[in-house]
């Protein structure tokens, strides 16, 4: 269970609901149908089991029986001489379709009977016409209301309806500038041109240059896309209109499109201006993907957006910015020239960028002398701006809770842990044996990772349960952000991942479910080595994965083996090769834990005692027992 790099925040889900969808309408109709139907059968009648009904028929309790397609209705005879329970009201029982066995009995007892034809006019009226009519009336009412025609609709038609509901927000000055943005310098550079244009449109107009109409900000959640859009408006000093894509999808059919129209109308009245559409993917999903039907609202909205984009004249100084973290699902029509033909990648910041972002967020925070933002940045690889802002906030809250005068480095450490690994759950009790297993498991990760020639330094081992899944974790941090990994480094990572299981085998004598996540990570990594990185000698330098990465996110989105692009036999060879890599890694991990059993025991015992071991203490323990890296200079002289 190592956390080699901090877990990512899951993408924010977009609310998929809409007030009324065709499916909803259908369900409503179906319900109405059944209610009305049983109403017709049951009105003033008592429902009884078929057996009881038949019994009543055979003793002649009914004067008349009506036989419908799927039910029987009996009208009680005036006088009954039997002691049996006597029907006071008509009885209704279900009938198996086509089962006429009741008829001979009816004839025997001289009961009058008749068939009720299904679909008779009365039935038809009650069962179909009335509910459908009601539904249609309701529907028309909504539609007319949306168009501002019906009673109670706000004056001004669609636009007004859009206006009253729409959370189109307009700010004449966002008060945000590029000074509030850090760590994404390339994106800022690209957007400066847009600012330039908004400030002095004449300059560009004069030379007839092509001004982009739409700029798509692409990047993982929390990296500052919204912030950037606001900063562009702030820098240019133009009004900022914004709307979130997910808000469209909740609306009635037709309203999303109306809002888009409204948005462009309002913005062009105030041009030069910025229009920002957040979560563009919520409306801009590819039109020919996904489920059949049920998407007419989104499609209408998208079409409206496309036509507005084609319609407006960029020279008035209107620029559309949009953000998405899933560019690969966007409808290609959105990316055509004249639409979002410019894409700006807003990526996660590197170490220096993180330091700068932290510096922005601590502007209003009182910091203690010992606080090193550099170190905070070094400990948070992979985190985005929003996470960093979160860490600063947590640290300030923690310091306040402890009644400190200033935020100390210790607060930052705690805040990092909270944000990175979820809240500490100290109160979760583990039994001693579980604790021992986890201690050996994590000790194994730490030992193997530390002793591999290319292992990353282990920064912290903990067996404090956190979050829901992890019982403990071993955190190894790269000294700097890495963009390339070599085969040897990957093989060492694999061995490190296997360290937990190897240690359990050796020390506890049993393997547990604790390694599930390690195995998952290791398998994924080995598979990539074989199919994407060409790192398997037997497969050779070939890409066997169908690259499904988005064109913008680069290495962020890994290629997956989504579609088979090779033969069954190749698949078997891939599997065998992946297996071989994993077995090899486990073998190497076993060798390490076996030959450093004393180190492993020391680590596990220490973990049991204090629950957390920091990186430097780990190094001390390892060198005390003479466990050193295979290729590292032997400092203690005792191997």
Report, in Å, the least distance between residue 385 CB and ligand ADP. 2
Contact range with ligand ADP by CB under 6 A, out of 178-186, 296-304, 426-434, 576-584? 178-186
Contact range with ligand ADP by CB under 6 A, out of 181-189, 487-495, 530-538, 612-620? 181-189
DSSP letter for each residue of 237-262: T--EEEEEHHHHTTSPTTHHHHHHHH
Q: Is 223 in the site for ligand ADP (CB under 6 A)?
A: yes
Report, in Å, the least distance between residue 491 CB and Zn ion. 18
**What, of Mg ion, Zn ion, ligand ADP, none, does residue 90 touch, CB below 5 to 8 Å by kind?**
none
C-alpha distance from residue 347 to each of 52, 94, 218, 219, 386 (Å): 73, 65, 8, 5, 12
Q: Do 432 and 420 touch, CB atoms closer than 8 A? A: no
**187 or 600: whose CB is closer to Zn ion?**
600
**106 or 497: whose CB is closer to Zn ion?**
497
Element holding 618 (H helix, E strand): helix 615-624
**Six-digit token string for 245:** 């894509």
Of 524, 518, 410, 412, the closest CA to residue 472 belongs to 518
The correct pick among 2, 6, 183, 500 for binding ligand ADP (CB under 6 A) is 183
Q: Which residue has 């070599």 as its token pair? A: 486
Helix axes 615-624, 597-610, angle to 10 degrees: 140
Q: Determine the Cα–Cα distance for residues 362 and 393; give it in Å rounded to an integer.
A: 9
Catalytic residue among 442, 456, 504, 505: 442
Q: Which of residues 478-507 bind Zn ion (CB under 5 A)?
A: 500
Q: Determine the Cα–Cα distance for residues 603 and 548; give it in Å rounded to an integer.
A: 42
**244 or 532: whose CB is closer to Mg ion?**
244
Element holding 298 (H helix, E strand): helix 296-311
If binding means CB under 6 A, how many residues of this protein chain bind ligand ADP? 18
Q: Show the site string, 343-362: x = touches ligand ADP by CB under 6 A, - = not.
A: --------------x--x--
**Number of CB atoms found within 10 A of residue 228's CB:** 27
Q: Is 518 in the site for Zn ion (CB under 5 A)?
A: yes
Q: Is 389 in the site for ligand ADP (CB under 6 A)?
A: yes
Q: Determine the Cα–Cα distance for residues 269 and 329; give it in Å rounded to an integer.
A: 32
Q: Is 224 in the site for ligand ADP (CB under 6 A)?
A: yes
**What, of Mg ion, ligand ADP, Zn ion, none, does residue 221 touch, CB below 5 to 8 Å by kind?**
ligand ADP
Q: Is 386 in the site for ligand ADP (CB under 6 A)?
A: yes
Q: Is 227 in the site for ligand ADP (CB under 6 A)?
A: yes
The correct pick among 18, 73, 95, 225 for binding ligand ADP (CB under 6 A) is 225
Verify whether residue 394 is a known catalytic residue. no
Helix axes 255-269, 157-165, angle to 10 degrees: 90
Contact range with ligand ADP by CB under 6 A, out of 21-29, 176-184, 262-270, 461-469? 176-184
**What, of Zn ion, Mg ion, ligand ADP, none, does residue 74 touch, CB below 5 to 8 Å by kind?**
none
Beta bridge partners of 228: none
Q: Which positions ≥6 away from 351 have C-beta within 8 Å?
A: 377, 378, 381, 480, 481
Q: Which residues contact ligand ADP by CB under 6 A? A: 181-184, 219, 221-227, 323, 357, 360, 385-386, 389
Q: Which residues contact Zn ion by CB under 5 A? A: 1, 500, 518
Residues annotated as catalytic (active site), given as ranges = 442
């Amino acid at each position: 269970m190592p956390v080699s790099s901090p877990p990512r925040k899951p993408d924010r889900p977009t609310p998929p609901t809409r007030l009324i969808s065709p499916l909803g309408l259908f369900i409503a109709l179906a319900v109405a149908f059944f209610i009305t139907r049983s109403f017709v059968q049951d009105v003033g009648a008592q429902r009884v089991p078929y057996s009881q009904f038949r019994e009543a028929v055979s003793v002649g309790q009914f004067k008349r029986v009506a036989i419908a397609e799927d039910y029987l209705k009996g009208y009680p005879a005036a006088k009954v001489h039997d002691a049996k329970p006597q029907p006071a009201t008509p009885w209704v029982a279900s009938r198996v379709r086509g089962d006429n066995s009741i008829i001979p009995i009816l004839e025997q007892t001289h009961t009058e009977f008749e068939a009720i034809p299904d679909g008779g006019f009365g039935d038809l009226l009650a069962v179909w016409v009335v509910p459908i009519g009601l539904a249609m009336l309701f529907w028309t009412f909504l539609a007319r209301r949306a168009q501002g025609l019906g009673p109670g609709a706000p004056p001004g038609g669609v636009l007004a309806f859009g206006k009253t509901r729409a959370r189109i927000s307009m700010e004449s000055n966002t008060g945000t500038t590029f000074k509030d943005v850090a760590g994404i310098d390339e994106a800022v550079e690209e957007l400066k041109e847009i600012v330039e244009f908004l400030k002095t449109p004449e300059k560009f107009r004069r030379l007839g240059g092509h001004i982009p109409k739409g700029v798509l900000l692409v990047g993982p959640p929390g990296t500052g896309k919204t912030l950037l859009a606001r900063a562009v408006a702030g820098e240019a000093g133009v009004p900022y209109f914004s709307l979130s894509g997910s808000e469209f999808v909740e609306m009635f059919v037709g309203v999303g499109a109306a809002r888009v129209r409204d948005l462009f109308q309002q913005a062009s009245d105030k041009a030069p201006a910025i229009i920002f559409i957040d979560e563009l993917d919520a409306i801009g999903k590819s039109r020919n993907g996904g489920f059949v039907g049920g998407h007419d609202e989104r499609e209408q909205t998208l079409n409206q957006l496309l036509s507005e984009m084609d319609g407006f004249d960029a020279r008035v100084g209107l620029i559309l910015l949009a953000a998405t973290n899933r560019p690969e699902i966007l409808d290609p029509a959105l990316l055509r020239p004249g639409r979002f033909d410019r894409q700006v990648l807003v990526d996660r910041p590197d170490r220096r960028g993180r330091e700068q972002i932290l510096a922005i967020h601590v502007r209003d925070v009182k910091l203690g002398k010992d606080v090193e933002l550099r170190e905070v940045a070094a400990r948070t690889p992979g985190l985005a701006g929003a996470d960093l802002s979160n860490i600063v906030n947590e640290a300030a809250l923690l310091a306040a809770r402890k009644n400190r005068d200033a935020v100390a480095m210790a607060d930052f450490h705690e805040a990092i842990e909270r944000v990175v690994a979820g809240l500490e759950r100290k109160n979760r009790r583990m039994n001693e044996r579980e604790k021992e297993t986890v201690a050996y498991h994590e000790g194994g990760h730490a030992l193997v990772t530390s002793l591999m020639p290319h292992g990353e330094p282990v920064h912290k081992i903990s067996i404090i349960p956190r979050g829901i899944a992890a019982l403990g974790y071993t955190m190894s941090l790269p000294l700097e952000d890495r963009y390339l990994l070599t085969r040897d480094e990957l093989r060492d990572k694999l061995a490190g991942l296997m360290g937990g299981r190897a240690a359990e085998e050796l020390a506890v004598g049993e393997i547990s479910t604790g390694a599930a996540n390690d195995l998952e990570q290791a398998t994924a990594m080995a598979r990539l080595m074989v199919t994407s990185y060409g790192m398997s000698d037997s497969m050779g330098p070939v890409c066997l994965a169908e690259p499904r990465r988005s064109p913008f996110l680069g290495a962020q989105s890994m290629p997956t083996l989504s579609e088979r692009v090779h033969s069954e036999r190749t698949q078997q060879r891939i599997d065998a090769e992946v297996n071989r890599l994993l077995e090899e890694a486990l073998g190497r991990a076993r060798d390490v834990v076996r030959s450093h059993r004393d180190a492993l025991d020391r680590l596990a015992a220490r973990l049991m005692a204090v629950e957390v071991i920091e990186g430097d203490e780990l190094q001390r323990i390892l060198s005390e027992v003479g466990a050193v890296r295979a290729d590292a200079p032997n400092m203690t002289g005792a191997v």
